[in-house]
Amino acid sequence: MSSLETRLYKGDQAKLVLENEVFQSVFDDIEKDLIESWKNIPSSPKHADDRERIHLALSMLGKVKASLVTTLETGKLARVELEYQRSLPQKVAEWISPC
């Protein structure tokens, strides 16, 4: 598989994950649970580590989603480039052939 085909495949797989109802539900539930936990932690200095841990978990959750979205967008660009590459010989043939 070429690099473009690999990016296209990975983009398609990322799309399946991002559009999957179970993934969306689980992802949203985890995010809500983390936010709720963060809200319920006392603001005292002795709980700073707990707040930091939850902040880190929320940050990583966001990075997972952002990475999937980036992979999806890269796949979309790969699809456009592949379609262009596949149509280029036909366009050249039409251009050089007599009318």
* pLDDT tens digit sequence for 62-77: 999 999 999 999 999 9
pTM greater than 0.75 (yes/no): yes
Distance CA(49)–CA(41), nearest Å, equals 10
> Nearest 5°: CA angle at 19, between 65 and 29?
60
Average pLDDT value over all residues in the chain: 92
% of the chain residues with pLDDT over 90: 78
**Sign of the dihedral through C-alpha 35, 39, 45, 46:** negative
